[in-house]
Structure formats: structure tokens, C-alpha cells
Chain A
């Protein structure tokens, strides 16, 4: 079952110029994506490639001008069911500071449930449960501004989890964090995906994060240019470099060595397997000799 279906979607931002003329800026062109339930999908691309706009289509923050987006079978353009859509697809943004509403951690996690009119006992239960899931339960009565970046972002995730969404969309959740915070967040979302079966859509420009997903969609100038398992994405070294994205350093090494007569498999991402492969190649003399 697909939790999100995007069908032939175009999206343009319309603004007025100084002469009062309407300018339309097309940021998404003919997007088609089906996301099965339980998948960990990474969307990779530069700033301005349309990936954040796409994220906002996933929970009805934006409605496409043409084409359709379905969330768990519901058309996001159906205004009557917008809260169902938002409960199904939870969103986490880049700056953790700007998505925490309350002055106490647990009050913030309760925010969505209070909006939905959930009864106090049930709110309490779900708040505790969400905070425990992200490992922030001990901080439930702390002030958010005193937490580290990674902790704040985990509170933001808990605030969305409280709605028990089937799908979590995270728009560059680690861009403002230090390496420690980044690891905390990636660990948390992988755990949500593995242990709770939550569908995860991670929008990022860090290739090392995308490499951990089940599937990677690469966007460039409003279009999906690659859609595959990470192994088959990062092996396309030339293409990735051409559009200015990174590939893992080891893949780059293998790519360079292959130019020098090696025939190494680029479709491996695990560093131990890569080491074994290269060691075998060197020891076995299993490489061509340049010149």
C-alpha cells in the first residue's frame, strides 16, 4: 500500500513584479512518485531544486496547481480532510528553535494533541510515550532553549510523533546541527523506521545520510533525475558530480582506481565490504596495469 502517491504534479510560485505583472516560477515539473508504507526514502538535491516544495505537498501545506497528491488514499486538495492528512504525515523542519511553541518540553509535545481536542488523560499518555521514544523523557519539564540542538530537534520530532503519524517528513533536519546532534537525529529516525515501521522521507543534501536510506530520489531543477536504491545512485559518479552533488569518498576512490585499470564494484556502500574488495584486488593482482 502506498502511503503517498504523487501523480503528474506541477507546482509554481506566483508573485507580482514591480509593474504589477504576475510572474510564475515553476519549481516542480511533472513529478510522479509512489512511496510504499514503511519505506525510508531520502530526497537528495541542492537548495532551490524543489525538494522543500515537494515536502510541503506531502501534507497539504501546498496544493499542486496540476496533478494530484494522495496521502493514505486522501486527496490533499480535500479541505475537509486536511487534519487527517496532517495527522498521517508529520513534518519536521530545519531549525528546531522555530518549531517549538511552548516554554516547557512536555507542553510542546502536547501541542498537536491539544489542537486536535484529544482528552487530557490520553494526551498525557501519548506525550510520555513520544518523549520516551526519542529519549527525551528525562527532559520533559525542561525549558527548550536550554537544550542542545540535537535535543531540541528530538523534542520537535516527539511533538509530531504524538499525533502517531504513519509517515514522517523531515526537511533538512540536521543542517543546523553539529556532528553529535546529526548522529542523534539519524539514529532516531532509523529507529522509528525499523522498530515502529514509520515511513520516513528524509530531505537532505548530505549524501552520507541519503546513503543509509532504502531508496534515494535525486532532484535537480524541479525534476526527479534519479530514483533508485542508494548503491545504484552513488555508483553514477560522473552524473552526480555533473549536478554538483557528492558521492562517498570511497566510491570516488574506486571510480578513480577503475580509471587506472582496476575493475572494482561501485555498487557497494559498506566500508568493510569495500575494504575487503580492494584488498582482494590488490593481493590477487586482479587489476589491469596502466601502460
Chain B
């Protein structure tokens, strides 16, 4: 049931993509986002798709996870596609007309391009969480944002909160499962009735969950205090990221990719 939900799914491995410095991976990921939006023709998108595909192959992530990453945004894609198709107008004659529905060739073209662009974008960006463990990713965010602490932005606190959230999400999901079963055993009914009764039906789950979460928070704070936690000042880290050859290589490959996309934009 609830146990099947995974957040930020990570597949451990030892590929060059896995071994890349997480900070670089994060930056290149953002750069990729920009490039995909710069790409303005099918050839550029085709090249990008091939680029993403080869990264999946190199990192040893099964291609079916490309589709899995697309699943959550499918409704969004479908809705915007339909709106685009019907609402966009173009030059010349519509190719389809029925009552108030008119579809232009250009609308089809724009929609198809948008869908393809989103597919490539999501598939590419998902690779980040597929090949980087959440804790390493949090670490990367903390390190990249660390200059912000000079303007009193709570970088360490933010990263700590993210770590704790990731640590406790599975625990709380498991706990929710148990509470649901316990209330079901007392005849709780989550499946019937109108909206209000259904919302009310969740009170017996939400209240115990909050009570338990507060208790956990208290105990965790105590345990952290016992282990000398006192915020981010003077803290060191077990993991020391170092840029390696693989990072230089990755950077060059990405640079090449960027140049090709820009060239296709200019010449096609």
C-alpha cells in the first residue's frame, strides 16, 4: 500500500555518472534545463534525447525508469497538450474542423515539440536522483549554498532539516500503515460516504501520527544533544568531495553537448 511510495529513488552503482562529484552533477543538471529550453528545433531535441539515452546506458539504469519518471507528470502533459491543440491558432487553413473545435497544423507542431521537450527534460533531470543518494545530494546543496551563510541564510539548518525529513519519511509511512490497520480493526471506514465524512475519517489517522511525530522529534533532539550537536559552527564532514578526472571528463562532454545544441540552433 503506502509502503510502495519511494521518494527520490536512488539506484546505487559505480558508473562514471554515479562517481561524478555531486556538486558538478547538480550544476550540470541546472545547465541542462537551460539548454533544453534554448533548443528550438527537432534536431537539437533529437541530439539531446540521444545524449540522455546514452547517459542512462552508461549509468546502467534500466530504460524503463525513463517512463517511470514521466508517469507523475503525465496528467500535466496531457492537459497542456489538449489545451495547446485546441487553443493555438496558426496561419492558413485549419486541418480539422468540427463545431467549435478547430485544429491547425502549427498547433500540432508546437504541441508535439513541447511534449518532446518535456520528455527529454524530465528524463534527463531524473537521472540526478537516480544516480545520487539523497544524503549526497543534500550535502551538495549545502556546499553550493554555503556562501549564502555570510548573509545569514540558514544553509546548514536547511540541509539538516532535509536530511532528517528523508530519514523519517519511511518511518512515518510505516507508522501510518500501522495506524490505518489499527483503526480499520476498530471498524473505521475510509472508503464510503460523502466528502465530509471521508475527510472526518482521516482524523483517527492524522491525530496519532502527529502525536507520534512530536514524540519522535523530542527524542531525536535529545539524542542529537547527547551527541554534541550545536548547529553548523565548526562542523566537519565524513565525506570530502574532491574533483577527479571523471569530473573534468564529464564537464568536457557536457560542454561539447552544449556547443552542438547551440550550433544546431544557429544552422537549422
Contacts and interface: CB of A to CB of B under 8 A. Distances in A.
Interface in A93-127: 93, 95, 97-104, 106-107, 110-120, 123-124, 127
B200 interface: no
Contact of A163 (B227, B234, B239): B227
A160 interface: yes
Interface string B234-255: 1111111000000000000000
B228 A120 contact: no
B227 A111 contact: yes
Nearest to A94: B219
A241 to B, nearest CB: 33
Q: Most A CB atoms within 10 A — which of B163, B223, B224, B234?
A: B223
B260 to A, nearest CB: 37
Contacts of B95: none
B178 interface: no
A118 B219 CA distance: 25
A12 to B, nearest CB: 19
A145 interface: yes
B236 A91 contact: no
Given A61-B222, A98-B219, A103 B134 contact: yes
A83 interface: yes
Given A86-B228, A117-B235, A124-B238, A102 B223 contact: no
B220 interface: yes
Contact of B219 (A86, A93, A106, A120): A93
B191 to A, nearest CB: 29
Given A87-B228, A114-B236, A120-B238, A99 B223 contact: yes
Interface residues of B, number: 31
A130 to B, nearest CB: 12
Nearest to A56: B222
B135 A59 contact: no
Contacts of A145: 167, 170-171, 174
A159 interface: yes
B88 to A, nearest CB: 45
B26 interface: no
Given A98-B220, A99-B220, A112 B167 contact: no
Given A97-B171, A101-B164, A159 B238 contact: no
A86 B12 CA distance: 35
Contact of B237 (A116, A120, A143, A160): A120
A144 interface: yes
B238 A93 contact: no
B163 to A, nearest CB: 6
Contact of B234 (A87, A106, A117): A117
Given A98-B219, A117-B234, A119-B236, A104 B228 contact: no
B235 A90 contact: no
Interface string B103-132: 000000000000000000000000000000
Given A102-B135, A111-B229, A159-B227, A144 B222 contact: no
Contact of B167 (A86, A102, A113, A114): A102
B226 interface: yes
Interface residues of A, number: 41
Given A98-B219, A101-B224, A110 B235 contact: no
A93 B227 contact: no
Contacts of A106: 238
Interface string B150-185: 000000000000011011001100100000000000
B216 A114 contact: no
Contacts of A100: 167
B264 interface: no
A105 B174 CA distance: 19
Contacts of A160: 226-227
Contacts of A144: 167
B163 A102 contact: yes
B227 A104 contact: no
Contacts of B227: 86, 111-112, 115, 159-160, 163
Contacts of A61: 222, 225-226
13 contacts: A86-B227, A93-B219, A98-B216, A101-B163, A101-B223, A103-B134, A104-B135, A111-B227, A112-B227, A114-B235, A117-B236, A120-B237, A145-B171
Given A90-B226, A101-B223, 19 more contacts: A86-B225, A87-B228, A95-B216, A98-B215, A100-B167, A101-B220, A101-B224, A103-B163, A103-B166, A111-B229, A113-B238, A115-B235, A116-B228, A117-B235, A120-B238, A120-B239, A123-B237, A141-B12, A163-B228
Cβ-closest 5 pairs across A and B = A99-B223, A112-B227, A98-B219, A110-B238, A91-B226
